[in-house]
Amino acid sequence: MRARDLGIRIGRGQPGPNNAITDVPGVRVGHTTIIDGDGPLVIGRGPIRTGVTVVVPHDGDPWTEPLFGGSHTLNGNGDMTGLEWVRDSGLVVGVIGITNTHSVGVVRDALIGRAVRDRPRSGEAWTLPIVGETFDGMLNDQNGFHVRPEHVEAAIAGASGGPVAEGGVGGGTGSICHEFKGGIGTASRVVGGAGGPWTLGVLVQANFGSRPLLRVDGVPVGEAIPIDDVPSPYGPGRGARLGGGGSIIAIVATDAPLLPHQCARIAQRVGLGAARSGGIASTTSGDLFLAFSTGNRGLPPPEAEPGGRPTVELRALVDAALDPLFLATIEATEEAIVNALVAAATMVGRDGITAHAIPHDRLRDVLARHARLPG
């Protein structure tokens, strides 16, 4: 179930055929979801509610063919490895991972292992994988370190184009969003003009927000479905996020030909989409965004040997043509967050803590009363 299945239309833009980041040609997404056990938390045993999500950025060898990319940190109480090199070089190299806070290291190392195995004759090869995270310890035995290298391998092996599984899957298995069950969401927009059409897609791991702040298409849904009606997982002593804490990781892909500084400007606009859904980038929030462009293929790897091509021919949109892509990013981000909420099912985690799904009937009723549904 997705937002548009309920009649919800975010913004004015036209989505791609799958309304997903995979509408950008060559981009693939894979998940490994790990769910096991119930009852009281026993560190190292469970209950387990976690996983890993990967984004494969193009249909070539992502370890040897970089793409132009850029990043933006709206609030830095989180981690996305590899961003220093992205900022310095303007390049995105390799498969991108998203997981829980305490599994970043194992996912990073597994991606390095995959790169080494894919390049067995490159003894001096190096890579700095990009791995983002959000905290899932409210539902998951996060300190049990249950994500392992084989889970990363399975996510890569299962990565595909087309429709993307959403909600409580992959890295978003244990996510909570606006005190409802959250997780993975995605959406896309097709932008005409400026030499296009161009496709832009966003994938989020939505694990942020407080109930009173939730907005859907501008409607104060969180106020209309308060925690007195649908309980919050943050009970007494569990750190209720009155200020809208938590984190959101976002990956933006586009086939528009962009330079690194333009990718960074695209990444910055993710924050506006998050704000439209009620995010405030609070002190306890890790809001980290990455954007990459497939519009200039065939770039040499960073460690290309001297004597290779000294120059490359590039295409790029002029900065004045970026505004439609900015709007596409904002709309697709907002819709991806709503898709994460709509797709997620109620989940009972460790110690019986329950993250309830947003009730579809109540959501439709609230939006209808604000004239946001067709007909």
Residue 36 annotated as catalytic? no
Catalytic member of 247, 277, 282, 293: 247
The tens digit of pLDDT for each residue in 198-255 reads 999 999 999 999 999 999 999 999 999 999 999 999 976 555 455 567 899 999 999 9
Q: How far is residue 368's CA from residue 375's CA, in Å, rounded to a whole number?
A: 9
User: Tell me: domain 3-301+312-369, CATH 3.60.70.12, correct?
Assistant: yes
Alpha helices in 119-227 (DSSP H): 149-157, 221-224
Mean pLDDT of 271-276: 98
Give the pLDDT confidence score for residue 250 in this predicted structure.
98
Query: Over 90: is that where the pLDDT of 181 sits?
Result: yes
Dmax over Cα atoms in the chain, in whole Å?
68
The tens digit of pLDDT for each residue in 295-324 reads 999 998 877 666 667 788 999 999 999 999
Query: Over 70: is that where the pLDDT of 76 sits?
Result: yes
Query: Over 80: is that where the pLDDT of 272 sits?
Result: yes
Smallest CA-to-CA distance from 244 within 217, 219, 222, 266 is with 222
Catalytic member of 23, 282, 287, 293: 287
Mean pLDDT of 157-177: 98
Domain borders along the chain are 3-301+312-369
Catalytic member of 71, 175, 210, 285: 285
Task: Report the Cα 280 to chain-centroid distance in Å.
Answer: 17
Where does residue 362 rank: exposed (0-12), middle (13-18), buried (19+ CB within 10 A)? middle
Residue 277 annotated as catalytic? no
Q: Angle formed by the axes of helices 260-276 and 323-343, to 10°? A: 50
Residues whose CB is less than 8 angstroms from the CB of residue 374 and which lie 6 or more positions away in sequence, other chains included = 7, 9
Residue 287 annotated as catalytic? yes
The tens digit of pLDDT for each residue in 339-362 reads 999 999 999 999 999 999 999 999
- Average pLDDT across the chain, whole number: 94
Query: Over 60: is that where the pLDDT of 330 sits?
Result: yes
Query: Over 60: is that where the pLDDT of 9 sits?
Result: yes
